Amino acid sequence: TTKRAYNFNAGPSALPLEVLQKAQAELVDFQGTGMSVMELSHRSATFEAVHNEAIANLRKLFAVPDNYEIVFLQGGASLQFSMIPMNFLTEGKRANYVLTGSWSEKALKEAKFSGEAVASVSTKENKYKNIPTEVEVGENDAYVHITSNNTIYGTQWKTFPETGNVPLIADMSSDIMSKPVDISKFGMIYAGAQKNLGPSGVTVAIIRKDLLESANTNLPTMLKYDTFVANNSLYNTPPTFGIYMLGEVLKWIEAQGGLEQVAKNNEAKAALIYDAIDNSNGFYYGHAEEGSRSLMNITFRVADEELEKQFLKEAEEAGFVGLSGHRSVGGCRASTYNAVPTEACQALADFMKAFQAKHQ
Ligand code: PMP
């Protein structure tokens, strides 16, 4: 049998075992070509079918309406921090950022290179423990930018803010396709694939067509969304293996029962770990305020600092991977993305209870 770790990495992170096994089976001879997907020309009919199927399945499973384009990009979500203002912060307008963590701060920093960009709301004073209840939208805003799930602090938007006529843009890197979302509320959604959708190297962007029509045009070819839209994300060589893997992850999501079922699984998984925290009488405590808790990144502390080190050490010895908090905040973090099995979350909850019983 295959030895699989209890992988709670924040990204790159766990992939479905079924997907890895299928990729393994197809690796040296993909569909009778005598080649792996990695060795195919990106202009071949065989690869193009993989590419188009991935886009079509993404549209179907995430219920992306017809007035949105789906593109595959490179450079991670981090390059989107730059491309968004380059394309959409048009002359005389202001970019509006809602700061809920380090990734929103980074997005804002890049926007400032393109023009006026402000943090209209921030929860930094509260140590990014919560998601704001309201946002402030200015008449002159080119867009409002949010981070739907804050990977480092472990908070998540439960309902998305109303921004009227101003397009809402969301960095969904750490919770894309973890649940159904009403796409029509957004001007644009983007995400690096390496948490819920596949390996690193592919970035997904879903962009409303009217935004593309009014975008800045005087941009380098590779930094302009229109280049990717006009060429079906095949202007230059795309990350072919990553796109193939993303396509297989989408098929796996469909086999799970689609996003409704995936969302239920994710709720149940997170509840196992949050319950272990909440029922610990303060032995463990969460970072996020209850109404803002993420179902993807569960951030917590062991109240006793020495015991926290011991917890992380014993957890590692017991086969749990990736439980240290982000280097900027410390503590513990369990990332429970789509492909993390319920059994792994149950095993962690059991381990937490046993550790508490032993050391309290
Ligand atoms: N946004 C969020 C919410 C993230 O979690 C991350 C990566 N952890 C990024 C952006 C940056 O993504 P990338 O490394 O793909 O540039």
pLDDT of residue 3: 86
Q: What CATH number corresponds to the domain at position 298? A: 3.90.1150.10
Does 7 fall in a domain? no
Does the annotation list 56 as a binding residue? no
Q: Could you tell me if 262 and 243 lie in one domain?
A: no
Q: Could you tell me if 267 and 193 lie in one domain?
A: no
Q: Could you tell me if 130 and 261 lie in one domain?
A: no
Q: Could you tell me if 261 and 216 lie in one domain?
A: no
Per the structure, the count of domains in the chain is 2
Percent of the chain scored above 70 by pLDDT? 100
Q: What CATH number corresponds to the domain at position 90? A: 3.40.640.10
Say how far apart CA 329 and CA 324 lie, in whole Å: 10
Say how many CA atoms lie within 13 Å of 225 toward its Cβ. Answer: 28
Does 235 fall in a domain? yes
What are the tokens at 125?
A: 């004073």
pLDDT at 2 over 80: no
Over range 300-326, report the average pLDDT: 97
Say how far apart CA 165 and CA 141 lie, in whole Å: 10
Label residue 82 left, alpha or beta by phi (over 0 means left) and psi (-120 to 50 means alpha).
alpha
Cβ of 11 closer than 6 Å to ligand 1, yes or no, is yes
Does 171 fall in a domain? yes
pLDDT at 1 over 90: no
264 is catalytic: no
pLDDT at 329 over 90: no
Q: Could you tell me if 160 and 191 lie in one domain?
A: yes
Q: Could you tell me if 229 and 209 lie in one domain?
A: yes
103 is catalytic: yes
Q: Whose CA is nearest to atom 15 of ligand 1?
A: 76
Closest CA to 57 of 327, 243, 294: 243
Q: One of 195, 226, 252, 269 is an active-site residue; which one?
A: 195
Give the Å distance between the CA of 117 and the centre of ligand 1: 20
pTM: 0.98
Q: Could you tell me if 56 and 26 lie in one domain?
A: yes
The residue written with tokens 């020495």 in the block is 306
- Going by the DSSP 8-state scheme, the letter that residue 53 receives in this structure is H
Q: One of 129, 141, 157, 171 is an active-site residue; which one?
A: 171
pLDDT band at 327 (very low <50, low <70, confident <90, very high): confident
Does 2 fall in a domain? no
Cβ of 88 closer than 6 Å to ligand 1, yes or no, is no
Residues 6+ apart with CB under 8 A from 354: none
Reported as a single tens digit per residue, the pLDDT across 68-124 is 999 999 999 999 999 999 999 999 999 999 999 999 999 999 999 999 999 999 999
Q: Could you tell me if 251 and 267 lie in one domain?
A: no
DSSP track, 165-177: TSPEEEE-TTTTT
pLDDT of residue 232: 98
195 is catalytic: yes
Say how far apart CA 286 and CA 274 lie, in whole Å: 8
Say how far apart CA 343 and CA 262 lie, in whole Å: 15
Reported as a single tens digit per residue, the pLDDT across 137-156 is 999 999 999 999 999 999 99
**How big is the chain by its Cα radius of gyration, in Å?**
21
Does 103 fall in a domain? yes
What are the tokens at 216?
A: 């800045």
Q: Could you tell me if 140 and 242 lie in one domain?
A: yes
Q: What is the SS3 assignment for 130?
A: coil
pLDDT at 328 over 90: no
Label residue 92 left, alpha or beta by phi (over 0 means left) and psi (-120 to 50 means alpha).
left
Reported as a single tens digit per residue, the pLDDT across 15-73 is 999 999 999 999 999 999 999 999 999 999 999 999 999 999 999 999 999 999 999 99
Q: Could you tell me if 167 and 182 lie in one domain?
A: yes
Q: Which of 201, 221, 255 is the last residue of a domain?
A: 255
Does 25 fall in a domain? yes
Give the Å distance between the CA of 202 and the centre of ligand 1: 12
Query: What residue numbers bound the domain in which 83 lies?
Result: 17-255
Q: Which of 203, 234, 255 is the last residue of a domain?
A: 255
Does 324 fall in a domain? yes
Does 4 fall in a domain? no
Q: Could you tell me if 45 and 142 lie in one domain?
A: yes
Q: Could you tell me if 226 and 296 lie in one domain?
A: no
Reported as a single tens digit per residue, the pLDDT across 173-191 is 999 999 999 999 999 999 9
| Count of Cβ atoms closer than 10 Å to residue 23 Cβ | 18
Q: Which of 221, 255, 289 is the last residue of a domain?
A: 255
pLDDT of residue 50: 98
Over range 248-273, report the average pLDDT: 98
For residue 119, list its beta bridge partners.
97
